[in-house]
Structures are given as structure tokens and as C-alpha cells.
Amino acid sequence: MAFGLISIISFAQTYTGPKEDIDQILKNIESFSSQVIAGDYVAVAANYTSDAKIFPNNQDILEGTAAIANYWKPSNGNQTIAHKVTPSELKILGDEAYDYGYYEGTTKLADGTESSWRGKYVITWKKVDNDWKIYLDIWNSIPN
Amino acid sequence: MAFGLISIISFAQTYTGPKEDIDQILKNIESFSSQVIAGDYVAVAANYTSDAKIFPNNQDILEGTAAIANYWKPSNGNQTIAHKVTPSELKILGDEAYDYGYYEGTTKLADGTESSWRGKYVITWKKVDNDWKIYLDIWNSIPN
């Protein structure tokens, strides 16, 4: 194993690759959730590469910043009041990476009721201008 | 670009990496579909690494050969009579790779009626004993 690479297994979380890359991606995952909760869909879309693809269930593949921003734009008075992503594994492969794991959150609906949800995901990342951006983002549900 | 690497774009399909790796993965994608249609769930499961994870909608992550074979085992008299995977992009990253694209198929139900479906997927691959195996396999639907 080359100097500077780490492989940590704790609480069933496996991170493999250079520490600074892992730290950057974990930081980006955290700020992604903060931006979703803030309803800042422009900032959320900026987490993706300009040619990124997202794979929402029961829709076609959506590609590019405008389509992705539109997907994350809060609608119908709904508000995401909790959003958390827990990677199970994160692996750096040079200037690309992938992670998979679980997400969970709560939406406050326009009528004031709250709906919680959770699911699982796979993301592939690309290193762009010394930062890490999401290139492919696919997920689906787990029953509550 | 190093000798032996190719990057082909045709009909919106992008393959990047050593030609023998790309050819092997494309061949495996084809035989996967043949095995699904044959109902040979043991052969289907052998396309995955022993620690692979699949992400069926509305279920938890399923891990390992036994769970994956069980998922692909035909049940309730249903028979998959068509199965086709069309990668949009396939990228080799050393001994790992990812591809994403579309799948479609037809199930013949126990009552004789047929149901067609399609969707989109992301797969990550690992090179194991000079062959390519699926490590992560996640997908969800596109409405017909």
C-alpha cells in the first residue's frame, strides 16, 4: 500500500484511498445535505459535474446542471427538514471514486404533516479542479 | 493516451479503457441476459463477486452469492422471456470499472399474460481472476 493511502473499517464503513480525497468527499456529502435542507437547489446542483446524470425512480435519466437543479428545487410547498447520507463504502480510484450506502430524511408537506423516508444509493465521483463532484447518482427506496 | 486504450463514441455509447476489458464486460452483459432468460439463477449469481451488493427497489441491500441467486430465482410461475441491457457509458479504471445505461424486458406471468418493463442502472465492476464481475448493481424504473 503506497504512502498516504488509508483503509479504515469502522462501524461497517470502509474508506479506501488518499486521506485528503476521502475527507473532501465526506465533507461534500455533509454539505450536500445542508444545502438540501436549506432548499438551496442551485448549490445542490453545483455538487455535480456539468455532465452529471441523476436517476430518479420512475423518470428518465436527467443530465446536466439545469435539469439537476430543477429536480432539487423544492415544489408544492414541500420542505425537506432532515437529510442524512451514510456511506457504507467509499473507494478512490485515482481521479474517480464511488461510494454506496444509505440515505434518510423527512419532508414537511404543505399541509404541515411530516413524511419520513429512507433508501440506498450508489454514486460515482470525479475529481474536478481539485474538488470532488458527483458524476452518477442513483438511488431507490427502502420501506420504513 | 497510453497504447491499447480506446475511446469510442457511437450511437451515444461511450466505452473508455483497454479493448480486451471492454469486450469482456460487453460479453458478460450479453450472457447475463441469456442466463436470466434461461432462468439459470445460479449462473446469473456467478456474474457477481462473492461480496457483491444488489439494490432492488423497496428492499434492503442484498449481499453475497446466496442472496443474489435467491433474488434472481424465478418465482410464482413468472418467466422472463426478454432481457436486454444497453450501456450508455462504460469506463475501465484499472481493475475496477463502471457502466450505466438502460435495461428492458418482458415477463410472462403465470396466467399467460405478458408484462414489459424498462429502467436504468449503474453497475460497478471488479476484475477477478482475469474476468470481470459485478460488485454493485442498482437500478430503478422508467415508466413504459
Note whether B142 contacts A93, CB cutoff 8 Å.
Answer: no
**pLDDT at A6 (0 to 100):** 56
pLDDT digits (tens, 9 = 90+) for A19-32: 999 999 999 999 99
Tell me, yes or no, if B51 comes closer than 8 A to chain A by beta carbon: no
Cβ–Cβ of B96/A91 closer than 8 Å?
Answer: yes
For residue B49, count other CB atoms closer than 10 A to its CB. Answer: 18
Residues B95 and B126 sit within 8 Å (Cβ to Cβ): yes
Of A56, A96, A120, the CB nearest to B55: A120
Report pLDDT digits (tens) over A117-126.
999 999 999 9
pLDDT along chain B (144 residues), means of 10: 50 89 98 98 98 97 97 93 97 98 96 96 98 98 92
3-state secondary structure of B28: helix
Integer-rounded Cα Rg, in Å, for chain A is 16
pLDDT of residue B144: 83
**Mean of the per-residue pLDDT values for chain A?**
93
Q: Do the Cβ atoms of B48 and B55 come closer than 8 Å?
A: no
B98 close to B70: Cβ distance less than 8 angstroms: no
* Sequence letter at residue A47: N
ipTM over 0.90: yes
pTM (2 decimals)?
0.92
**Could you tell me the three cell numbers for B41?**
439463477
Q: How does residue A71 score in pLDDT terms, banded at 50, 70 and 90?
A: very high
Q: Residue A1 pLDDT more than 50?
A: no
Q: Is A141 on the interface with B (CB under 8 A)?
A: yes
Q: Taking a C-beta distance cutoff of 8 angstroms, is the pair A102, A27 a contact? A: no
For residue B39, the model assigns a pLDDT of 97
Structure confidence at residue A144 as a pLDDT band (50, 70, 90): confident
A88-108: per-residue pLDDT in tens?
999 999 999 999 999 999 999
> In sequence order, what are the residues at sequence separation of 6 or more whose Cβ sits closer than 8 angstroms to the Cβ of residue B120?
A55, A60, A61, A138, B100, B101, B102, B103, B139, B140, B142
A113: helix, coil or strand?
A: coil
Looking at residue A69, its pLDDT comes to: 98
Enclosing H/E stretch for B14:
strand B13-18
Q: Is the dihedral of CA A11, B68, B82, B125 positive or negative?
A: positive
Q: Does B91 touch chain A (CB under 8 A)?
A: yes
State residue B2's pLDDT score.
Answer: 44
Contacts of B63 (CB under 8 A, 6+ apart): B51, B52, B53, B54
Residues in B closer than 8 angstroms to A5, CB to CB, are: none
Q: Predicted confidence band at A2 (pLDDT cuts at 50, 70, 90)?
A: very low
Q: Which of residues 8-37 of A touch B (CB under 8 A)?
A: none
Check if B103 contacts A (Cβ < 8 Å).
no
Q: What is the pLDDT of residue A30?
A: 98
Residue B4's pLDDT is 55
pLDDT for B76: 85
B19 vs chain A: nearest CA distance in angstroms?
19
Q: What angle (nearest 5°) sits at the alpha carbon of residue A100, between those of residues A97 and A106?
A: 125
